[in-house]
Structure 1
Amino acid sequence: MARKMTAPKKPYRGSGAKNRSATFAALDLGTNNCRLLVADRAGDGFRVLDSYSRIVRLGEGLASSGQLSETAMDRAVEALKNCKTKLDKYRNCQVRCITTQACRAASNGNEFLQRVKKTTGLKLETISPKEEAKLALLGSLDLVDDSKDFTLVVDIGGGSTELSWVDAKAAKRRGVSGSAARPPILGWASFPVGVVTLSETFPEHADGGDPFWYDKLVEYVVKLLRENDAADRFGPLFEAGRGQLLGTSGTVTSLAAVHLGLSKYTRSAVDGVWVSQEGMDAARDKLRFATPEKRATEPCIGPDRAELVLAGCAILDAVWQIWPSERLRAADRGLREGVLLSLIHSNKPAGKKKRKRTRNVKNQNNTNAKPKTNALNGTDNLSDSLDKLS
C-alpha cells in the first residue's frame, strides 16, 4: 500500500514539466542495511510506491581487517540484485544510489563498487559524511520541533555516527524546499563508530562474564565524542535546556518501540513519537540486562538486531551525556527519504538563481588535525552563528 508523506497537490504543469521524472528512487547501501524507496511526487513531498529493506552487514569484519569480506560483499550484491529487479518495473525513474561508511573506509571499496556496477548495472555513489548529515536532516525535517532553539539530529549507522546541530526555528521557517537549498545546520560531525564497528571492537560475552562491558562501550564513545569541539560549543546550550534530540536510526526506533510495548513493530506508532530520557533508559535496561537469547525474542528487536542494539544504545547514551535533553523524538525516516526529497526539489522547474559565494570546509576525517565541528551555513566560525541565538 502506498504511504503518503504529505498531502498530495495537483502536479505542476508549467515550463519544464515534460522533462521532470515521474518517479524517483533512493537506494541506500549502509554498513548494516540495504534499503530502497520508490516514490512519486506528492506536493512538496512524496508518495511511496515500493520499498525494500534487508540486513546485509556489509561492514562485517571491517574494523579488524580494513576490507570488505567476500561473504559480506556477496550478501550485499544479492540484495542489490533484488533492488534492481524492483527498479526495472518503473519507467522514467530518476534514481540515486548511495553508499556510506563501509565503502568510505574499506581499502577495497572502489573494487566493490565496480563489481556492483558490472553485476547489477547499479552505479553506487560513496557520499561524504557532510552529505550524509545533510540528507539525514532533510529526510526527517518534518519532525524538527521549534519549541527549542536547537535540534541535534542523531544518525547512528552501522559504521559511523553522524551528528548535526540544527537551528530549529530556521528549519521550520525554510521548510523542505528552502532547507534543501540551504540546510539550517549550524555544525556537523562524523565519528567512525557505529553499531557494527563498536560491537566488533567490544564483543559481548554470551555468559555476561564482564559486568562492566556496557559501561566500557559508553566510556569509549564519550571519549571519542569529546575530542570534537562540539562538546564545548553546544554542550552548555543543551545543558541550559535549549536543545533536544531527534534520532533517525534503527537503534532509536527500536528502543522507542520497546518503550511503547508494541507486540509488532508499527511505523505509524513509532515515527514522530516523543520519549523521555527516563523512558528510553528503561527500554535500554530491559535489553541490557536480558540474555542475548531473550533479547532476540523481543518482537521489535528480533535475532537480526539482538547482537547490535546494545552498541547503538551505548552510542546514544554517550550522546545524551554530552548534549543532555529531557526527551528525544524518534524518526523512522532518514537517508532514503532525504535522497528522495533532494531529487524531487532539484527536479523542479528551474527559475533564476542568485549566485552565492561558498566557502570550502575542511574534511572532518583529517586525522592530522584536532577534530572540529564543521559548518554548513557558510560561516567559518561557529561562534558567529551561535552568537545570533545566544
Structure 2
Amino acid sequence: MAPQRPKGAGALDKDNRPALSPAPVPSRSSELYAALDLGTNSCRMLIAQPKGSGFHVVDSFSKSVQLGAGLEKTGRLSRGSMARTVQALRICQQKLKRNKVGRMRLVATEACRRALNGDEFMRRIQRETGLRLDIIKPEEEAQLAAISCAPLVNRKTENLLVVDIGGGSTELVWIDISKVPKKDRAQSIMRLHSGFKQAASDVPSAKVVDWISVPLGVATLRDQFNDVEDDAARFALMSWFFEENLQDFTPYQSAQPQERFQIVGTSGTVTTVAASHLGLKRYDRTKIDGLRMTSEQ
C-alpha cells in the first residue's frame, strides 16, 4: 500500500522553554471531555477536565488488544482480536458512564481502515457497547497528532517535525512556523485542526511543508519480517524498508539542515522509548508526557 499525502536534526536543547498551552477554556469548566484511540495494537482513552489553559486528567485507560494480529495475512480482523477489543471497550464505556462524560471523540485508525470487515466491526462495537467509533482517514490522524503536540512547541522553534509511530501506520508532519510570532506559534499549530491547507490570510500562520502517512508501524513491520530469524538482519531489513517508504517525504530531499528545528514524538512507540530511557519498570504517564530528550540520549 502506497504512502498517502495531499495532492497538488535533533531535539532542541532541554533548557529551551516550551510555549504555553494553547488549549481553549470552555465556558463550563466542570464538563468532562474524553478521547479514545483504537489502534492496531492498543486501545487508549483519557477523560479530562478543563483547568486553566489546559486539562486535568480525571481517568485513563490503556490496554494492548492487538487488534491487527493476523491482518497482514488475511486482510481481516480476527475473531479473537475483535473479542479482546470489545472487552476493552466495555471497560471504557463503564468509565465514561461513571464519570458522566459530556463530550467525547472516539476514533479507530489503521487496522480498521485496512480491514475488509472494519466497518462491520464498528457496527458490532456500537451494538455491544453503545459506543460509536469513527474510522478516520490518514490526513485526520496526522492532523490530530500535530495539534496534540502544540503545547510542547518551543518558542524558539521555526521548523517542527511531528512523528507519530503507531502499531499499523506512521505519520510525519513537517511544519514551518518561522513567520509566526513566537508567542503565537503554538496557537497557529492548533488552527491546523481545520485542515493542512489553510485559507489565504494576512495573519502569519503555520505552514505544512509536507506530510505523509505510511501503512507501516511496529506491528505491521514485525509481521512482515517475522520469517527472518537473525535479529540484526531483521532490524536492518525493517529499517531499509521503512526508509524506502519515506523517500518522497520532503526532508529526505533536502540536504540543508534546518535551523531551530524541533522533533516532537507521539504515540506508543515514542513513549516506550522514553520509558526505556528513564528506566521505568512500570509505565508512568506523568513522567513521560512532555519529556525532553537530546539527540544523544
Task: Give 1:86-235 correspondences, 5 Å limit.
Answer: 86-91=95-100, 93-169=102-178, 170=180, 173-174=183-184, 178-182=188-192, 184=206, 185-203=208-226, 209=230, 211-226=232-247, 228-233=248-253, 235=254
Quick check: 1:278 aligned with 2:288?
Answer: no
Gaps of 5+ in 1: 280-390
Moved over 6 A (4+): 5-11
CA contact 1:145–1:151 (8 Å) conserved in 2 = no
User: Displacement of 1:130 after TM fit?
Assistant: 1.1
TM-score, reference length from structure 2 = 0.79
Q: Give yes or no for contact 1:21–1:92 (8 Å, CA) kept in 2.
A: no
RCO higher in structure (CA 8 A, sep ≥6): 2
Cα deviation per residue 1:47-82 (whole Å; 9 max; x = unaligned)? Answer: 111111101011111112111111111111100011
Q: Distance in 2 between matches of 1:91 and 1:210?
A: 48
TM-score by length of 1: 0.61
CA distance in 2, matches of 1:53, 1:210: 29
Q: CA RMSD in A?
A: 2.8
Structure 2: distance between partners of 1:212 and 1:90: 49
Matched, 1:261 2:279: yes
Q: Classify 1:172/1:201 alpha carbon distance in 2 versus 1 (closer, same or farther; 3 Å).
A: farther
Offset from partner CA, 1:362-384 (integer Å, 9 cap, x none): xxxxxxxxxxxxxxxxxxxxxxx
Unaligned runs of 5+ in 2: 1-19, 194-205
Paired-residue identity, %: 40
Q: 1:107 Cα shift?
A: 0.8
Which SS does the other structure have where 2:245 is aligned?
helix
Which amino acid counterpart does residue 266 of structure 1 have in structure 2? D
- Post-superposition Cα deviations, 1:186-232, rounded to whole Å, max 9, x if no partner, equal 32110010111000001176xx5464221111011111111x24245
In structure 1, the residue matched to 2:17 is none
Say if 1:58 and 1:72, in contact at 8 Å, map to a contact too: yes
2:34 corresponds in structure 1 to: 25
Whether the 8 Å contact between 2:210 and 2:249 is mirrored in structure 1 is no
Distance in 2, Cα, partners of 1:24 & 1:266: 21
Shift of 1:21: 8.1
Q: How many residues align?
A: 264
Structure (1 or 2) with the greater helix fraction = 1
* Distance verdict in 2 for CA 1:173–1:107, change over 3 Å: farther
Shift of 1:241: 4.8
Is 2:37–2:108's contact at 8 Å kept on the other side of the alignment?
Answer: yes
For residues 21 and 259 of structure 2, the distance between their equivalents in structure 1, rounded to whole angstroms, comes to: 31
Q: What amino acid is the match of 1:216?
A: L
1:150 Cα deviation after fit: 1.0
